[in-house]
A and B are shown apart, each in its own frame.
Chain A
Amino acid sequence: MDKFKRTLSKEQSPEERVKNFKEVSLGYTEEEAIKEAKRCLNCKNPMCVPKCPVAINIPEFIQHLKEGNFEEAARVINRDSSLPAVCGRVCPQESQCEGKCILGIKGEPVAIGKLERFIGDWSRENNIDLTVKSDKKNKRVAVIGSGPAGLTCAGDLAKMGYDVTIFEALHEAGGVLVYGIPEFRLPKETVVKHEIENVKKLGVKIETDVIVGRTVTIEELMEEEGFGAVFVGSGAGLPKFMGIPGENLNGVFSANEFLTRNNLMKAFRNDYDTPVKVGTKLAVVGGGNVAMDAARTARRLGAEVHIVYRRSEEELPARREEIHHAKEEGIIFDLLTNPIEILSDENGWVKGMKSIKMELGAPDESGRRRPVEIKDSEYEIELDTVIMALGTSPNPLITSTTEGLDTNKWGCIIAEDETGKTTKEGIFAGGDAVTGAATVILAMGAGKKAAKAIDEFLSK
């Protein structure tokens, strides 16, 4: 066995998977997981742990896994994360835990994400009860938003004995895990629902269909309903548009709308009522994970799909694995290309897009080379659908209805890094609502820190 090569897990073939919404990566078998675990050197000063935003004791869980002691491994992970089957699938491990694995210097790092996923899946399939009971504290905490930040914060507080209620605006809990990330990366019925059930088993109540800022205000929750502290984990769900001509034509969607119709409303299934329109040739504008998700979803609905991105392949912000999967599935990358107008047919539907070619100039403040238009390089392509995946920003609904809860110029809630403390006493915040669109695991890390700070605040 080559110690520097990671154990491969099975995947659906590209030809097969573009015809379905089933998960692409099939995960490790028990044998494969043990084999991969045995590559871990069990470092004395593990470099992987500090790179995990919730600091899972990685060598310890892998040690149990090596010995085939899966339940113990699950308990180790559960101390720090309630969502292993989610994180094992969607974390950008290459820039976190796996990015610092010592084996990565000479070869391939240990597949920590896949091992974590294996443990998460195994505990679910074997009905392992990881509930930790603690003395009831008889104090109420409200958590706004049931995405990764809210679920983590709520779970941690419940473990400490608090009476926690999550308020969710949509009809289903999970945030981006249910409306954003597609089925073929993160199965909803099995994985997401189960991990949310686990949080409920800790005693957390989830009230769906409650829009804080409209249905109820934070002030009412604290003054009338007896919540001693509030955690705001409302995410960054407001889509951006480019502001180019033709963006309101029929056939132009935000990625959020396109993904919500498919993931949350299951528009891709005939037995659900919500419709979705994809034409035969479609462009997704943007280069992040959301762009990849939208493109791969559209591909599964039968369209020829182009990713249009203004920088080069190297700068694509999406995970390498997603770009690789997208290419395998036949998605065409139109790089160094910037749309300048969406073209209309006589009925107001998209018929094409006018773009301009770009080249990379000097680095900007962010250190990335700035794309510059190449003169007279405009060209048109025929299209019938355009999806804008340009990023999102926090929704102002909560901050605009809560006096004293300050935001910065990007509309993000101002909160302390280490505690999630906002400018208003008793209100904490974390995740995308504070940072702008980031990752699932960073949101979880923020939820965790805030839970600790809320405990300190309420113990005073």
Chain B
Amino acid sequence: MYKILNKRLLAPNIYLMDIEAPRVAKSAKPGQFVIVRMDERGERIPLTICDYDKEKKSVTIVFQVVGSSTKKMAALEVGEYFMDFVGPLGQPSELVHEDLEELKKKKIIFIAGGVGAAPVYPQVKWLNSVGVKADVIVGTKSKETLILEEEMKEVAGSMYVATDDGSYGFKGLVTDLLKKLIDEDKKEYDLVVAIGPMIMMKFVTKLTKEYNLKTIVSLNTLMVDGTGMCGACRVTVAGKTRFACVEGPEFDGHEVDFEEAMRRQGMYKTEEGKKLLEDQEKAEGHKCFVGLDGEE
């Protein structure tokens, strides 16, 4: 059993929790994720690691209520327990393995969509700790749904916000904002890291392809075990089948078959959910798509 040490409502339906998990806290690295299970009859849900503290033996997760399991999670209070909390899973961000001097020369921009700000945060924080200031774009529906703004500002170089309704920062999509930064503000980047709903990552890679700009994405596929034993999370990358839970979740965005990944992600959606996904597809970037999909 894994104790909830802290709980905070970041935005409507978006929660942050610190969970006591000494082994995970000790081994976690930016880019990795955990799998949680609420109770005896619960399902296993993958969630990205947002932060970790070896001393406090705690791991921070951020989740959005999108279904019955996340609803159950949101109902738990400080002092209560998660039945299972396993990790860290997946490969750490490639940045962790890079030569520090090389890394310091790089101009990196992170693009976070909705709750994707949570998995972006540990990477930006880690870069800051080794002396690299990365820029960050956070895209969200409105000012009200923006999360982790203060935390991010503290560790980022420049922090930009894009809201669909223009209630805060730039009005429009993250892709429009990136385009503006490069075209109008003459910003130069060597690397883009995009984390958020699949459809957002797809459109980011479509745009960065035009600029021939290397882009890493973190795929939130369906998962069961998260250890490579089932292949529920399989995706096609550069024409090859890869297991996101073991070989990912980060891949070169220009090599990912997003159509297939999005289709597979919707496999267990209810009829209603499937319709939502279809509508999103139809909207193809003309409407807001950020925040419709959570971590599930």
Q: CB-CB contacts of A248-273 with B at 8 A, as 1s and 0s?
A: 10110110110011000110000111
Task: Indicate whether A288 reaches chain B with its CB closer than 8 angstroms.
Answer: no
Task: Indicate whether A384 reaches chain B with its CB closer than 8 angstroms.
Answer: no
Question: Do A260 and B224 form a contact, CB below 8 Å, given A171-B37, A215-B27, A348-B263?
Answer: yes
Task: Tell me the count of chain A residues lying within 8 A, CB to CB, of chain B.
Answer: 38
B228 touches A397 (CB 8 A): yes
Neighbouring A residues of B145 by C-beta, 8 Å:
none
Neighbouring A residues of B264 by C-beta, 8 Å:
248, 250
Q: CB-CB contacts of B105-129 with A at 8 A, as 1s and 0s?
A: 0000000000000000000000000
Neighbouring B residues of A256 by C-beta, 8 Å:
229-231
A22–B295 CA distance with the chains assembled, in angstroms: 36
Closest to A259 in B: B230
A271 to chain B, nearest CB (A): 6
Task: Indicate whether A208 reaches chain B with its CB closer than 8 angstroms.
Answer: yes
Task: Indicate whether B12 reaches chain A with its CB closer than 8 angstroms.
Answer: no
Of A214, A247, A273, A347, the contact of B41 (CB 8 Å cutoff)? A273
Task: Indicate whether A226 reaches chain B with its CB closer than 8 angstroms.
Answer: no
Task: Indicate whether A210 reaches chain B with its CB closer than 8 angstroms.
Answer: yes
Neighbouring B residues of A243 by C-beta, 8 Å:
241
Task: Indicate whether B202 reaches chain A with its CB closer than 8 angstroms.
Answer: no
Surface stretch bound by A, among B83-91, B165-173, B192-200, B209-217:
B83-91
Q: CB-CB contacts of A130-170 with B at 8 A, as 1s and 0s?
A: 00000000000000000000000000000000000000011
Neighbouring A residues of B41 by C-beta, 8 Å:
266, 271-273
Task: Indicate whether B246 reaches chain A with its CB closer than 8 angstroms.
Answer: yes
Of A210, A238, A241, A265, the contact of B229 (CB 8 Å cutoff)? A238
Of A215, A238, A272, the contact of B88 (CB 8 Å cutoff)? A215
Of B227, B231, B266, B268, the contact of A211 (CB 8 Å cutoff)? B227
B224 touches A215 (CB 8 A): no
Neighbouring B residues of A214 by C-beta, 8 Å:
27, 87-89, 227
B295 to chain A, nearest CB (A): 15
Of A248, A254, A275, the contact of B236 (CB 8 Å cutoff)? A248
B229 touches A237 (CB 8 A): yes
A257 touches B246 (CB 8 A): no
Question: Do A209 and B241 form a contact, CB below 8 Å, given A248-B260, A260-B230, A274-B44?
Answer: no
B96 to chain A, nearest CB (A): 14
B246 to chain A, nearest CB (A): 7
Closest to B257 in A: A248
**Interface residues in A164-218 (C-beta closer than 8 Å to B):** 169-171, 208-211, 214-216
Neighbouring A residues of B83 by C-beta, 8 Å:
171
Neighbouring B residues of A253 by C-beta, 8 Å:
231-232
Closest to A261 in B: B224
Neighbouring A residues of B27 by C-beta, 8 Å:
214-216
16 additional A-B pairs beyond A210-B86, A214-B88, A274-B44, beta carbons within 8 Å, are A209-B84, A209-B85, A215-B23, A241-B241, A247-B241, A250-B267, A253-B232, A256-B231, A265-B44, A273-B42, A273-B43, A274-B224, A348-B259, A348-B260, A395-B229, A397-B227
Cβ contacts A to B, 13 pairs, < 8 Å: A209-B85, A211-B87, A215-B23, A237-B227, A241-B231, A250-B266, A260-B225, A261-B224, A271-B41, A273-B42, A273-B68, A274-B224, A397-B227
Residues of B within 8 A of A (CB): 23-24, 26-27, 37, 41-44, 68-69, 83-89, 224-225, 227-232, 234-236, 241, 246, 259-260, 263-264, 266-268
4 closest Cβ pairs, A-B complex? A257-B230, A237-B229, A209-B86, A273-B43
